[in-house]
Amino acid sequence: MDDVVWSGTWVAERLGVELIGGEELPGLLGLALRRNPKRAHLLVSNVLGKHVPQRPGVVYGSGFSLGLRVRDLLGPDEAARSVVVGYAETATGLGHSVADGLGFAPYLHSTRRPVDGVASAGGFEESHSHATSHLLLPEDPKLLAGDGPLVLVDDEFSTGNTVLNTIRDLHERFPRERYVIVALVDMRSAEDLGRLEAFARQIGARVDLVTGAAGTVRLPDGVLEKGQALVAAHETAADAPDGSVPPPRTPLTAPVRVELGWPTSIPDGGRHGFGAPHAAALNEALPAMTQRLGAALGGARRILVLGFEELMYAPLRLAVALERAGRDVSYSTTTRSPVLAVDDPGYAIRTRLVFPAHDEPADGPGERYAYNVAGAGFDAVVAVVDSVADTPELHAPDGLLAQLAAHIPHVVLAVVPSYVPECGPERTVEASQAPEAAVEAPQGTGATRGTQAREATRAVHAREVTRATSAPEVTQELRATSAPEDTQEPRATSAPEATPAIHAPEATQAPERSSMLPEPLRGPAFSSYAPEEVGWLLQDLSDVELEAPTEEREEAIQSGGAHYAESLPVEYQPSAQYQELFHAALETSAARIARAVGTVTETVLAEKAGTPVLVSLARAGTPVGVLMRRWAQARHGLELSHYAVSIVRGRGIDANALRWLAAHHDPADVVFVDGWTGKGAITRELAEAIKEFERAEGITGFDPEIAVLADPGSCVRTYGTREDFLIPSACLNSTVSGLISRTVLRADLVGPDDFHGGKFYRELAGVDVSNAFLDAVAARFDEVAEDVATGVKELLAADRTPTWEGWAAVERISEEYGIHDVNLVKPGVGETTRVLLRRVPWKILAQRDAGADLAHVRLLAEQRGVPVEEVDGLPYTCVGLIHPQFTRGATGADGKAVVSQ
């Protein structure tokens, strides 16, 4: 019997994943595998109504009962002042049900669908998700600006990052005294359990947690790689795992459209806000809509009501009404989530229908899914979509309706009109306009009940309220009485304590654009730098295999088959001899570097009107940014903010990182920092990227000027020196840059609203010299302070206009050596070192008698069999030439194939 097998058994046995908690957890959750490079497993809820069809009363009751508990926690007065926010796409219906249980409180859910004319009151990212960008688009821009409790609802509370980042951002703009986090299950790890209380202290507010059950997931080492391998093993060339994607079949019958008669004045959900008057109007309209649906379904016995992505609440209420009318109804929704399907009773996702997106999504076309629908024995399905999604793609031969019709005999299409807000700061709905808006709880639970707050509100408090409640018990509670009203919809009542206003007190209008992007990554969780030294505006791709052999990368890059930022070179592991060269170079050049650090920092401080915010271009600029921060602290007692961002030649700077910076700092204070200039390509790239960002975002103030340690190419105005000398941080890769990789920009890993990616090479900690490099240079600050003061005075009075002589030299060399591509000519010690470490070098041009500055270059060239050609009149100490026509059979100057060492 399928029903006696836990639907997480298949994953648990193959990956060693353990679900730890009370006896109720296996009934609430199953396990599946994500088709997602960021996280292997998926907790599949049996009561959410997303991936697993469930009785609508169970789904609605699960959220409603949580809302009742929040109401008890807050007390009637605070409950009447509260606002509820749910998360797209999974928790939109759950959040709305919680709002109903709370007393039909004002409700808003995040959305991935931008709406013309509706200003955003915020946006945020969900780092582990397949599709991360969320917007908050309230019709009333003041909805989130009140000082009553804010209740945030998600299906699962695991790390808590998404919810806590949301609270942090909103609290900065609209501070309040109390927040309540609500989830079906609390699945935090032991490491995360103390974060909530610490977070509450940090923001100075009370934060409560209300959940239905608690437990955790124990993941073995390497679970991501094992999960990805398991997914690959079960995906066939036709993308059909174990036959769990049913083969195409001729539709059994043509779909039938039913006119619901949904009033256009009632929002289709909480995308723009949904208040008590809307709830009262919906309750009044539901009986007639239910009657029309029943007529269209005829004598169908087993019925599935299928919602559409974020549109979960409207179809759920229709399903509940059908169920109360005596029909055998299940409920689930389509989804964006790519999940492996395996037809096994011990696996949570048995079948998968695949169809194209049909609502013209802002992030472009893509696959959508309906799970556990095919083969489930339904003889009728009601597909509920909003009018924006009623497109030709929906009705196409491979569209959702055709997929459903191939497996279910009777398909009914019900279209809910997409709500179009009448936006404007004056548009609010007073509770007094709709005194009947309070609604009784369904099935005799008594939504008007409430208790006094269990304790006085404290300025700082974190409290967790968890009760293990399985879905059947929730439904039993809601059906405790058998009065005739049990089969009716919730009706209006005049109980005053259940009548919340759906407008917020007067406040400043929410800004059109806000950054709820993730907080910067910091050491020691990401990088070996101390957390205060730098915040990385990157997403962590440490668990993704990105490295490729040097020769394969070079061939792909030069053939146009791939961009250099789409993969990573295998991290160079220096020999003992090379490491000795690094330490010797550091010893001899530390004072010269300290002098350059002091010079560039003092120049920035002298010429920047405000307090500088250092933004280094990862990763070569990051050690320089840390050193500049240390200089400002040591010499002036300044604690400068420092972040690292990604910039990619040909792709520009990370626009989402700029958005984050603009939301947290004055763009005019930002100073971009890099290690050195070569021919000035990144200087030009940044200038163009800033112009494009200003055009696209309307955010101005960023100065594209780069401050660099060394400017041998004469490409910038702000520099520590224009000498081309050895900067030891150029000798190594991640082991001198906080163990962070070069940044990655690849479409399948980095979405349009994600930070660029990077890896933390924790496994190289034993050979990490990042902090040794910083400490060696900082130890020389006092020694060079007098020289710096004198040099900066002279520098500020000098003409520092860039001459771009480096670019002219590169163009000349490109033609002289028959390369005809300036991108394959890498001038300067730093860039030449990169060629030898990361690319396929052809030859090295060296300034005659360059001396010790080139000792490491000569050693690397010898190890890779690359000739070093000494030339006169070279404006740089050296220039690295990448093989101009590289394939894996290409030869170097010696006639032998170029092979990495």
C-alpha to C-alpha distances, 667 to 224, 643, 661, 670, 682, nearest whole angstrom? 38, 13, 7, 5, 20
- Residue 552, classed as helix, strand or coil, is helix
The band of 158, judged by pLDDT with boundaries at 50, 70 and 90, is confident
Average pLDDT over residues 194-207: 90
pLDDT of 487 reads: 32
Q: Percent of the chain beyond pLDDT 90?
A: 43
Average pLDDT over residues 411-423: 89
Residue 548 has pLDDT above 50, yes or no: yes
pLDDT of 749 reads: 83
DSSP for 633-700, written as a single string = HHHH-----EEEEEEETTTEE-HHHHHHHHHHS-GGGEEEEEEE-SSSHHHHHHHHHHHHHHHHH---
pLDDT of 132 reads: 42
pLDDT of 166 reads: 86
230/397 Cα distance (integer angstroms): 31
pLDDT of 414 reads: 97
383/394 Cα distance (integer angstroms): 11
C-alpha to C-alpha distances, 614 to 536, 565, 620, nearest whole angstrom? 12, 24, 14
pLDDT of 457 reads: 25
Average pLDDT over residues 483-504: 30
Kindly give the pairing relationship between strand 868-871 and strand 841-847: parallel
CB 332 within 8 A of CB 371: yes
139/126 Cα distance (integer angstroms): 23
Q: What is the pLDDT of residues 627-662, one digit of tens each?
A: 999 999 999 989 899 999 998 877 889 999 999 999
- Residue 203, classed as helix, strand or coil, is helix
Q: Specify which of 273-287, 499-513, 841-855 reaches the highest per-range mean pLDDT.
A: 273-287
Residue 889 has pLDDT above 50, yes or no: no
pLDDT of 714 reads: 84
Average pLDDT over residues 700-712: 91
Average pLDDT over residues 224-243: 65
Residue 804 has pLDDT above 70, yes or no: yes
The band of 133, judged by pLDDT with boundaries at 50, 70 and 90, is low
Q: What is the pLDDT of residues 45-102, one digit of tens each?
A: 999 999 999 999 999 999 999 999 999 999 999 999 999 999 999 999 999 999 999 9
Flag the least confident range among 261-270, 403-412, 802-811, 861-870: 802-811
- Residue 797, classed as helix, strand or coil, is helix
pLDDT of 574 reads: 65
- Residue 897, classed as helix, strand or coil, is strand
841/861 Cα distance (integer angstroms): 9
pLDDT of 727 reads: 75
The band of 360, judged by pLDDT with boundaries at 50, 70 and 90, is confident
Is the pLDDT higher at 515 or at 596? 596
Kindly give the pairing relationship between strand 878-882 and strand 825-827: antiparallel
CB 272 within 8 A of CB 265: no
pLDDT of 885 reads: 59
The whole-chain average pLDDT of the chain stands at: 79
The band of 764, judged by pLDDT with boundaries at 50, 70 and 90, is confident
| Phi and psi at residue 463, to the nearest 5° | -140, 140
Average pLDDT over residues 470-494: 33
The band of 415, judged by pLDDT with boundaries at 50, 70 and 90, is very high
Half-sphere exposure of 84 (CA within 13 A, CB side): 37
CB 490 within 8 A of CB 439: yes
314/208 Cα distance (integer angstroms): 29
Q: How far apart are the first and last CA of the chain?
A: 58
The band of 811, judged by pLDDT with boundaries at 50, 70 and 90, is confident
680/708 Cα distance (integer angstroms): 11
Q: What is the pLDDT of residues 12-56, one digit of tens each?
A: 998 888 888 888 888 999 999 987 666 778 899 999 999 999 999
376/270 Cα distance (integer angstroms): 30
For 416-441, b where at least 16 C-beta lie within 10 A, e where not — what string? Answer: bbbbbbebeeeebbebeebebbbbbb
Is the pLDDT higher at 482 or at 515? 515
Which residues are bridge partners to 333 per DSSP?
Answer: 307
pLDDT of 494 reads: 29
DSSP conformation class of 425 = T
Q: What is the pLDDT of residues 218-229, one digit of tens each?
A: 888 877 778 778
The band of 125, judged by pLDDT with boundaries at 50, 70 and 90, is low
755/132 Cα distance (integer angstroms): 11
CB count within 10 Å of CB 790 equals 10
Q: Specify which of 42-56, 166-180, 452-466, 556-570 reaches the highest per-range mean pLDDT.
A: 42-56
The sign of the CA dihedral 867, 868, 869, 873 is positive
Q: What is the pLDDT of residues 319-336, one digit of tens each?
A: 999 999 999 999 999 999
Average pLDDT over residues 333-355: 93
CB 241 within 8 A of CB 340: yes
Average pLDDT over residues 138-159: 90
pLDDT of 9 reads: 93
C-alpha to C-alpha distances, 861 to 584, 844, 854, 869, nearest whole angstrom? 18, 8, 10, 11
The sign of the CA dihedral 169, 172, 176, 178 is positive
Closest CA to 850 of 723, 729, 728: 723
For 123-160, b where at least 16 C-beta lie within 10 A, e where not — what string? Answer: bbbbbebbbbbbbbbbbbbbbbbbebbbbbbbbbbbbb
Residue 509 has pLDDT above 50, yes or no: no
Query: Residue 396: which residues within 8 A CB-CB, separation 6 or more?
Result: 356, 402
Is the pLDDT higher at 461 or at 383? 383
DSSP conformation class of 869 = E
678/718 Cα distance (integer angstroms): 15
Is the pLDDT higher at 344 or at 482? 344
Average pLDDT over residues 138-149: 89
- The whole-angstrom distance between residue 137's C-alpha and the CA centroid of its chain comes to 19
pLDDT of 578 reads: 65
Is the pLDDT higher at 619 or at 793? 793
CB 155 within 8 A of CB 90: yes
The band of 747, judged by pLDDT with boundaries at 50, 70 and 90, is confident
825/414 Cα distance (integer angstroms): 62
pLDDT of 251 reads: 63
pLDDT of 244 reads: 61
The band of 372, judged by pLDDT with boundaries at 50, 70 and 90, is very high
Query: Residue 86: which residues within 8 A CB-CB, separation 6 or more?
Result: 92, 93, 94, 95, 96, 98, 99, 107, 108, 109, 110, 152, 153, 154, 270
Q: What is the pLDDT of residues 425-475, one digit of tens each?
A: 333 333 223 323 333 333 333 332 222 222 222 223 343 444 333 333 333
DSSP for 237-305, written as a single string = TTS-GGG-SPPP---SS--EEE-----TTS-SSSSS-B-HHHHHHHHHHHHHHHHHHHHHHTT-SEEEE
The sign of the CA dihedral 196, 201, 203, 207 is positive
Specify the DSSP element, H or E, that contains 207. strand 206-218
pLDDT of 894 reads: 36
Tokens of 698: 């309307």
Q: Percent of the chain beyond pLDDT 70?
A: 79
The sign of the CA dihedral 728, 731, 735, 741 is positive
Flag the least confident range among 192-196, 795-799, 852-856, 888-892: 888-892
Maximum Cα–Cα distance across the chain:
99
Closest CA to 85 of 313, 237, 273: 273
pLDDT of 783 reads: 94
Specify the DSSP element, H or E, that contains 80. helix 56-80
